[in-house]
Amino acid sequence: MSETSGRSGSDRQGSGDRRGGGPRQGGGRGGAGANRGRTGAPRPARATGRGPAPARSGPVVPPRDVHDPDGVRLQKVLASAGYGSRRAAEDLITAGRVTVDGVLVRELGVRVDPTHAVIHLDGLRIQLDTSLITLALNKPLGVVSTMHDPEGRPSLAQFVANREERLFHVGRLDADTEGLILLTNDGELANRLSHPSHGVAKTYLAHVEGRVSAQTAKALLRGVELEDGAASFASYTLVDQTPQATLVEVVLHEGRNRIVRRLFDEVGHPVMQLVRTQIGPIRLGDLKSGRTRVLGKTEVGTLMAQVGM
């Protein structure tokens, strides 16, 4: 006999009595069930007027004051940096989209020193020094990655001969590799982009000899041992393939000399043509060979964000 069928009729009747207003289980007002509701759950304690004790927490630290009484109004700094009129800059500030030295600023009266303040808009660094510039160059074949070549070979300087700024290149490309290279007069940005700790991704389009097998592609992603240590591609994407050649897009986070060519050489597929198409967020796009273009504010901001500026 089940437990359900084994209940006595008096139990069932008692249940009916409770629904009909009979005596409550647990006795009268002073019984064990006095603080229980109809469901048997504990009733909330009677209010004492004092309320619950506040949760303990550490001291409240006010935001760091970034206001510089001798500085320039923040909206004027933003407008001078090319972010619309002062009224538009005011709207950016009141909308909570601007930080100064890591502190969110919503007040319009804040003044800053534009030569030292680090200002971000929507998380992107604003370049306040208008004398700083960064260019993208589509380097042609046969050009060495230097601003001056003692051997008289074609160099990068010929493509920026009309610029007044003293520019230097970020990273290198072999003479027989074409594509994107950056030129800038911003020393901090150049150093960070070049430093291996930041691991800025570089994308290449490689046309190699032979049909690269899937097993070889996996090996290139796992790592291939070279004379100066193992190396690998962070990404490998097949673009096109014939029995005679393979076109692939590869991504690396390191910049060892001729690393793309050496990796493909090691697995028996020498590179016939190599083009760098992207550095971090900056794309070569439809920039023609031998031409340059100035990076826009958003491009520079995303580039700086990649290296923690």
Active site positions, annotated: 174
Distance of CA 188 to the CA centre of its chain: 19
Structure tokens at 60: 């409240």
SS3 25: coil
98-100/103-104 β-pairing = antiparallel
Q: What radius of gyration, in Å, describes the C-alpha atoms of the chain?
A: 35
Asked if residue 101 lies in contact with residue 117, where contact means CB atoms within 8 angstroms, the answer is yes
SS3 148: coil
According to DSSP, residue 175 is labeled: T
Asked if residue 102 lies in contact with residue 63, where contact means CB atoms within 8 angstroms, the answer is no
Rounded Cα–Cα distance for residues 56 and 12 (Å): 50
Rounded Cα–Cα distance for residues 106 and 87 (Å): 14
Rounded Cα–Cα distance for residues 77 and 132 (Å): 16
Element (H, E) at 245: strand 245-252
